[in-house]
Structure 1
């Protein structure tokens, strides 16, 4: 190994041994840039030290190293949810920690910090079980769950965080802990909803649900043929009639006329409603009938499918790219106000924008002993711009202002890089309790490379 790259076991201050030590990389070392690469390419991370962890012990070594120097710590698995650009400090990468074990009798999965949801879906499927994963199989399961986890079957089963049995975490004192609701009720509450504020989670035990198939897919309309506001108005009205077992979302995407896109998408403004339902196909057909009456569909993929194909409902992009965005939890969806959002983010916008509106309620509204907030919301609006931060804010901030009268907060997992704006991520009572527990478990605010609940992130320090 050349340059500054080393095994941290050679650093006496960390106290590890050379035969079991994480790979440590510094700027200029071979492999440093590759180790930082993630799904989000719009933000630059330049940590002074990267700990490429392969075990929980490696993570503990990294935390102790950072604590001994007063350095901020960040954690990255897939790099989907970076809070923004950063300089200096310590970054722990967990992609090598990809161990996964299914217990079909207990209906649980134990998964390490680098596991992606697609792995869990594939492992659980032969047992007729499913995790409460999101729409994109490439997303890291642990960070998704720590932020709540709004999944494909959310209205029937709630947030992914609601089904966590235990968490293995290294807290700011460098101590590995196994946390359950019974053993550490306060820390358990804070970890599930508090993101990476309270430590580096190395492993989760999660509950699985007995779902092997579903009725799902999407109905898509060409906005040049069917007015997007007409579709949205019909969708909002339809959500008032569906059972809790049906989870859905509305989306509007103006696709560029670019080579490589499917011919039916190129140059079109596509509006769609996506559906996932665990009832029978016949029941599903009856439930979606009003959607099909909205107008002539450009595409209709609604069908019965094995759960392993649930990612096709949304068909999220699987290639790294630049994006920025935010979210708003709404007590009600005012369609006239949302019409202004659709106009601002449509084909005339200076960058490609994606609008997604998730129907909440059902099991998402139930009281659960974790810190996932805003459970009384009826809809979640997510706006994304394929642009750098300042251009994106110029597009999206006025759109969110239109929704302000109905907005109760924001969703941590869908802040999409707005890490410098933590207001609204939690209701006041939840925020106060989180901040109090942060002062107990991380008084030096070591874990501040995230959506910091203290609101007092310190300047970066180099190693």
Structure 2
């Protein structure tokens, strides 16, 4: 085992101190341990530790501090949209503790647990966690970024339900923080992402949910103007029981794409409603009357099947992305979207998505002083393009051009989980208010004065 930046003696010391594997680029398993969900993101640390428990995380952080080695962390790799070159990567995927208490409607998970595992344990008890568009994402990393759920308009952000974190800080301390114990650190972890420590476990509230009415409707791309215009008017009047998004999709010829949609330009309406079946169907009826859908999968469903609403890719892909808060979906906004990504434009973007915010997402829980972004937003704009030839060279220009065309309608603000590789400096205040960013910087001086945690969404003191 060797590395160009860390001495063999130091690597040997690390290997003796932790239980999990310690790997460098020459070792079998290094690629598997470091790979990100976004295959366009190069994660190339000098050394990676596959932590088997919180003790391994604490030991690895202490070793890094002693040797002044910068630290990155990942579990599922979904949050890795920035390259990592050199340093120590701590992989927390093996931290698989998952317990659900149906009496208190709470769950405790380790840092490696995916939402799918939580749902398997919670749904039989009539409970659900507030996952996002895919249950393949890790619970902890998603929540640290705020976590915008499929049912966000009904229940708010996932971070609003967190009530305890176990976190390792760079001084080697393993802390349990909540509203009473180190409340400022607890608040900053909710929405501040991974700037101040490595979370090894989290406790949070589940929501009562026996099922829902949800799925997607796919319309011909040629009808994008009619569908977007109708969706804009229809979604503005939806009650909080309903959450929705809409996307312009240019789907590739791939086995993971349903047969009728392959190599097609379509408009994808997503819908999730917690009202009863009759009311949910009534609310959706104006959108069912639009155009001539290619496919309609909306209906009663178990929350176990929630992935069927967004139908996110089930396998890693190489992509480039950016996200911003969108202030309105008026006529000028729709026209700009169509001019750059509508029929006949040759737009190289795989996805141009608008998610409706508001409802419970727009309310700050009583007593909260967290860093969750997006509460003031009306919509979230999410732009994704595949980083494969020939689109790879065109995607950055397409994203920049669309954001420039939306000037006056798109905000400078974003949600940290949606900032993306093309969304600007990940440590900037774009994902937080000026006040929130200042709080993060001040806490960075206290909890990470040597700036060991400097990868991905990291502020710098």
TM-score normalised by L of structure 2: 0.92
Distance 1:95 1:258, change over 3 A: closer
Deviations 1:132-151 (A, max 9, x none): 01121211111100001011
1:229 maps to: 225
Matched, 1:175 2:173: yes
Checking the alignment, whether the CA contact within 8 Å between 2:229 and 2:334 is kept in structure 1 is no
Q: CA deviation at 1:26?
A: 1.2
Q: Which residue of the other structure, out of 234, 238, 241, is the alignment partner of 1:238? A: 234
Residue by residue over 1:237-285, the C-alpha shift from the partner in whole angstroms, topping out at 9 and shown as x without a partner, is 1112110111110111012345664331123211021111111000011
Please tell me whether the aligned partners of residues 256 and 314 of structure 2 are also in contact (alpha carbons under 8 angstroms): no
Alpha-carbon distance between aligned partners in 2 of 1:126 and 1:303, rounded to the nearest angstrom = 20
Partner Cα distance (1:257, 1:112) in 2:
37
For residue 33 of structure 1, report the CA deviation from its aligned partner. Answer: 1.5
Match of 1:366 in 2: 363
Which residue, out of 301, 310, 317, partners 1:314?
310
Q: How far, CA to CA, are the matches of 1:114 and 1:253 in structure 2?
A: 31
Secondary structure of 2:208's aligned partner: coil
2:393 and 2:313 mapped to 1: Cα distance?
23
> Considering only aligned residues, what root-mean-square deviation do their CA atoms show, in Å?
2.3
What does 1:383-462 align with in structure 2 at a 5 Å threshold? 383-387=383-387, 391-408=394-411, 409-418=413-422, 421-422=425-426, 423=428, 424-454=430-460
Distance of 2:32 and 2:254 partners within structure 1: 28
Indicate the SS of the match to 1:167: strand
Equivalenced residues, count: 448
Q: Which runs of 5+ in 1 are unaligned?
A: 457-463
1:209: how far off? 0.3
Gaps of 5+ in 2: none
Aligned to 2:376: 376
The CA deviation at 1:340 is 2.6
Offset from partner CA, 1:176-232 (integer Å, 9 cap, x none): 0001011111101111101110111000001000002001111210113xx212211
Equivalent positions of 1:262-301 (< 5 A) are: 262-301=258-297
**Alpha-carbon distance, 1:117 to partner:** 0.7
The Cα of 1:330 is off from its aligned counterpart by: 2.1
- The correspondence for 1:247, drawn from 240, 243, 255, is 243
Q: Distance in 1 between matches of 2:254 and 2:49?
A: 39
Point out 4+ residue stretches in structure 1 off by more than 6 angstroms. 10-17
| Alpha-carbon distance change, 390 to 68 in structure 1, aligned in 2, over 3 angstroms | farther
- Report deviation, 1:344: 2.5
1:87 equivalent to 2:91? Answer no
Superposed, 1:146-225 pairs within 5 Å as 146-224=144-222
Is 1:36 aligned with 2:37?
A: no
Equivalent pair of 1:110/1:204 in contact (CA under 8 Å): yes
Cα–Cα, structure 1 residues 420 and 285, in superposed 2: closer, same or farther, change >3 Å? closer
Q: 1:130 aligned to 2:103? A: no
SS of equivalent to 1:61: helix
Give the Å deviation of 1:443. 1.6
The one-character-per-residue Cα deviations of 1:353-397 (angstroms, maximum 9, x if unpaired) are: 201111001111111321102311110010001126764211101
Q: Cα deviation per residue 1:52-89 (whole Å; 9 max; x = unaligned)?
A: 10100101111111111222211111111213122111
Q: Are 2:98 and 1:100 equivalent residues in the alignment?
A: yes
Matched residue SS, 2:192? coil
- Once the two structures are superposed, the pairs formed by residues 2-13 of structure 1 within 5 Å of their partners are 3-4=1-2
Q: Secondary structure at the match of 1:287?
A: helix
